[in-house]
Protein backbone atom coordinates (compact mmCIF):
# COMPACT_ATOMS: atom_id res chain seq x y z
CA UNK A 1 0.00 0.00 0.00
CA UNK A 2 1.30 3.43 -0.94
CA UNK A 3 0.54 5.08 2.39
CA UNK A 4 2.67 2.60 4.32
CA UNK A 5 5.61 3.24 1.98
CA UNK A 6 5.18 7.01 2.22
CA UNK A 7 5.02 6.83 6.03
CA UNK A 8 8.17 4.69 6.14
CA UNK A 9 10.14 7.01 3.85
CA UNK A 10 9.07 10.32 5.38
CA UNK A 11 11.57 12.10 7.59
CA UNK A 12 10.28 15.44 8.85
CA UNK A 13 12.87 16.87 11.23
CA UNK A 14 12.10 19.65 13.68
CA UNK A 15 13.97 22.49 12.01
CA UNK A 16 12.00 25.40 13.49
CA UNK A 17 13.08 26.98 16.78
CA UNK A 18 10.76 28.74 19.18
CA UNK A 19 12.92 31.54 20.54
CA UNK A 20 10.64 32.16 23.52
CA UNK A 21 10.35 28.56 24.74
CA UNK A 22 13.77 27.49 23.39
CA UNK A 23 12.47 24.29 21.78
CA UNK A 24 12.50 22.80 18.30
CA UNK A 25 9.33 21.97 16.41
CA UNK A 26 8.04 21.18 12.94
CA UNK A 27 5.23 23.04 11.20
CA UNK A 28 2.63 21.78 8.73
CA UNK A 29 4.68 23.50 6.03
CA UNK A 30 7.79 21.53 7.08
CA UNK A 31 5.88 18.25 6.82
CA UNK A 32 4.47 19.17 3.40
CA UNK A 33 7.90 20.17 2.11
CA UNK A 34 9.42 16.89 3.32
CA UNK A 35 6.67 14.70 1.87
CA UNK A 36 6.37 16.30 -1.61
CA UNK A 37 9.21 14.34 -3.28
CA UNK A 38 7.96 11.10 -1.73
CA UNK A 39 4.43 11.75 -2.98
CA UNK A 40 5.82 12.41 -6.46
CA UNK A 41 7.80 9.17 -6.35
CA UNK A 42 4.64 7.22 -5.48
CA UNK A 43 2.45 9.18 -7.95
CA UNK A 44 0.26 10.39 -5.13
CA UNK A 45 -1.05 13.84 -4.22
CA UNK A 46 -1.89 15.31 -0.83
CA UNK A 47 -5.12 17.26 -0.42
CA UNK A 48 -5.72 19.39 2.66
CA UNK A 49 -8.84 21.39 3.43
CA UNK A 50 -10.21 23.34 6.38
CA UNK A 51 -13.70 23.65 7.74
CA UNK A 52 -14.85 26.04 10.45
CA UNK A 53 -16.99 24.22 13.02
CA UNK A 54 -18.87 25.90 15.85
CA UNK A 55 -19.62 23.79 18.91
CA UNK A 56 -21.63 25.68 21.50
CA UNK A 57 -19.83 29.03 21.89
CA UNK A 58 -16.44 27.76 20.66
CA UNK A 59 -15.06 27.91 17.13
CA UNK A 60 -12.77 25.16 15.84
CA UNK A 61 -10.87 24.60 12.64
CA UNK A 62 -11.27 21.04 11.35
CA UNK A 63 -8.52 20.19 8.86
CA UNK A 64 -8.85 17.17 6.58
CA UNK A 65 -5.80 15.51 5.02
CA UNK A 66 -6.15 12.80 2.39
CA UNK A 67 -4.25 11.28 -0.50
CA UNK A 68 -5.28 10.63 -4.09
CA UNK A 69 -3.38 8.45 -6.52
CA UNK A 70 -2.51 9.01 -10.19
CA UNK A 71 -6.03 7.94 -11.25
CA UNK A 72 -7.52 10.69 -9.01
CA UNK A 73 -9.03 8.04 -6.76
CA UNK A 74 -9.01 8.71 -3.04
CA UNK A 75 -6.95 6.33 -0.98
CA UNK A 76 -9.15 4.84 1.74
CA UNK A 77 -8.03 7.13 4.54
CA UNK A 78 -8.90 10.66 5.61
CA UNK A 79 -7.44 12.10 8.75
CA UNK A 80 -8.80 15.06 10.68
CA UNK A 81 -7.00 17.53 12.88
CA UNK A 82 -8.74 19.97 15.19
CA UNK A 83 -7.66 23.26 16.72
CA UNK A 84 -9.69 25.77 18.68
CA UNK A 85 -9.64 29.42 17.76
CA UNK A 86 -8.77 31.72 20.62
CA UNK A 87 -11.36 34.44 21.11
CA UNK A 88 -8.63 37.02 21.53
CA UNK A 89 -4.90 36.64 21.13
CA UNK A 90 -2.67 39.58 21.93
CA UNK A 91 -1.18 41.18 18.84
CA UNK A 92 -3.30 39.17 16.37
CA UNK A 93 -6.30 40.14 14.29
CA UNK A 94 -9.16 37.72 13.50
CA UNK A 95 -7.58 36.46 10.27
CA UNK A 96 -4.29 35.71 12.04
CA UNK A 97 -6.11 33.83 14.81
CA UNK A 98 -7.93 31.66 12.26
CA UNK A 99 -4.71 31.16 10.31
CA UNK A 100 -2.89 30.03 13.44
CA UNK A 101 -5.65 27.56 14.33
CA UNK A 102 -5.63 26.30 10.73
CA UNK A 103 -1.87 25.70 10.87
CA UNK A 104 -2.20 23.68 14.07
CA UNK A 105 -5.18 21.68 12.77
CA UNK A 106 -3.35 20.91 9.51
CA UNK A 107 -0.25 19.85 11.41
CA UNK A 108 -2.28 17.45 13.54
CA UNK A 109 -4.05 16.02 10.47
CA UNK A 110 -0.70 15.51 8.72
CA UNK A 111 0.76 13.94 11.87
CA UNK A 112 -2.08 11.44 11.87
CA UNK A 113 -1.95 10.71 8.14
CA UNK A 114 1.80 10.19 8.02
CA UNK A 115 2.14 8.58 11.50
CA UNK A 116 4.34 11.35 12.88
CA UNK A 117 4.56 11.20 16.65
CA UNK A 118 4.82 14.63 18.28
CA UNK A 119 4.36 13.49 21.86
CA UNK A 120 7.80 14.91 22.71
CA UNK A 121 6.94 18.25 21.12
CA UNK A 122 6.94 21.33 23.30
CA UNK A 123 3.81 22.53 21.46
CA UNK A 124 1.98 20.93 24.34
CA UNK A 125 2.56 22.46 27.74
CA UNK A 126 0.72 19.74 29.65
CA UNK A 127 2.65 18.68 32.71
CA UNK A 128 0.87 15.33 33.04
CA UNK A 129 1.93 12.25 31.10
CA UNK A 130 0.23 11.60 27.76
CA UNK A 131 -0.35 7.85 27.73
CA UNK A 132 -2.27 7.90 24.45
CA UNK A 133 -0.27 9.99 21.99
CA UNK A 134 -1.44 12.05 19.04
CA UNK A 135 -1.36 9.18 16.55
CA UNK A 136 -3.84 7.05 18.52
CA UNK A 137 -6.11 10.06 19.09
CA UNK A 138 -6.12 10.81 15.34
CA UNK A 139 -6.95 7.19 14.49
CA UNK A 140 -9.83 7.27 16.97
CA UNK A 141 -11.12 10.52 15.47
CA UNK A 142 -10.91 8.96 12.00
CA UNK A 143 -13.15 6.10 13.21
CA UNK A 144 -15.85 8.66 14.01
CA UNK A 145 -16.53 9.20 10.31
CA UNK A 146 -18.10 5.75 9.92
CA UNK A 147 -20.39 5.98 12.95
CA UNK A 148 -24.16 6.29 12.89
CA UNK A 149 -23.88 9.67 14.64
CA UNK A 150 -24.77 13.00 13.04
CA UNK A 151 -22.04 15.53 12.17
CA UNK A 152 -22.66 17.63 15.27
CA UNK A 153 -22.11 14.69 17.61
CA UNK A 154 -19.07 13.54 15.61
CA UNK A 155 -17.56 17.01 15.96
CA UNK A 156 -18.20 17.14 19.70
CA UNK A 157 -16.68 13.68 20.17
CA UNK A 158 -13.61 14.61 18.09
CA UNK A 159 -13.01 17.64 20.29
CA UNK A 160 -13.29 15.52 23.44
CA UNK A 161 -10.97 12.84 22.02
CA UNK A 162 -8.33 15.43 21.14
CA UNK A 163 -7.95 16.13 24.88
CA UNK A 164 -7.70 12.48 26.00
CA UNK A 165 -4.39 11.63 27.65
CA UNK A 166 -5.13 8.41 29.57
CA UNK A 167 -5.50 4.88 28.25
CA UNK A 168 -8.71 4.56 30.25
CA UNK A 169 -10.29 7.48 28.35
CA UNK A 170 -9.04 6.09 25.04
CA UNK A 171 -10.26 2.52 25.67
CA UNK A 172 -13.72 3.66 26.75
CA UNK A 173 -14.14 5.92 23.69
CA UNK A 174 -12.79 3.19 21.39
CA UNK A 175 -15.38 0.68 22.66
CA UNK A 176 -18.24 3.17 22.26
CA UNK A 177 -17.17 4.22 18.75
CA UNK A 178 -16.79 0.61 17.56
CA UNK A 179 -20.23 -0.23 18.96
CA UNK A 180 -21.74 2.63 16.92
CA UNK A 181 -20.16 1.92 13.52
CA UNK A 182 -22.35 1.77 10.41
CA UNK A 183 -22.91 -1.84 9.45
How far apart (Å, rounded) are the C-alpha atoms in residues 20 and 88?
A: 20
The crossing angle, in degrees rounded to 10, of helices 167-179 and 151-161 is 160
How far apart (Å, rounded) are the C-alpha atoms in residues 42 and 104?
A: 26
Rg (CA), the chain: 17
Average pLDDT over residues 152-177: 84
Supply the pLDDT for residue 39. 94
Task: Check residue 131 and report its DSSP letter.
Answer: S
Q: Which helix (H) or strand (E) holds 109?
A: helix 94-113
Could you read off the pLDDT of 111-138 as tens digits, one per residue?
989 988 765 544 444 445 778 777 788 7
The β-bridge relationship of strands 58-69 and 16-18 is unpaired
Could you read off the pLDDT of 65-100 as tens digits, one per residue?
999 988 877 777 888 988 887 777 777 888 888 888
How far apart (Å, rounded) are the C-alpha atoms in residues 77 and 158?
A: 16
Could you read off the pLDDT of 22-64 as tens digits, one per residue?
788 888 999 999 999 999 999 999 999 999 988 878 888 999 9
Supply the pLDDT for residue 128. 54
pTM for this model (two decimals): 0.64
Supply the pLDDT for residue 5. 87
Residue 106: pLDDT over 90: yes
Amino acid sequence: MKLVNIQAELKAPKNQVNSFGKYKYRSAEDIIEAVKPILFKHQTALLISDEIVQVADRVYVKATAMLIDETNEELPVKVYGWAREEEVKKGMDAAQITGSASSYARKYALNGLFAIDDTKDADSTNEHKDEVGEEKRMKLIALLENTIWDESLKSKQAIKISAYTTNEQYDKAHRIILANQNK
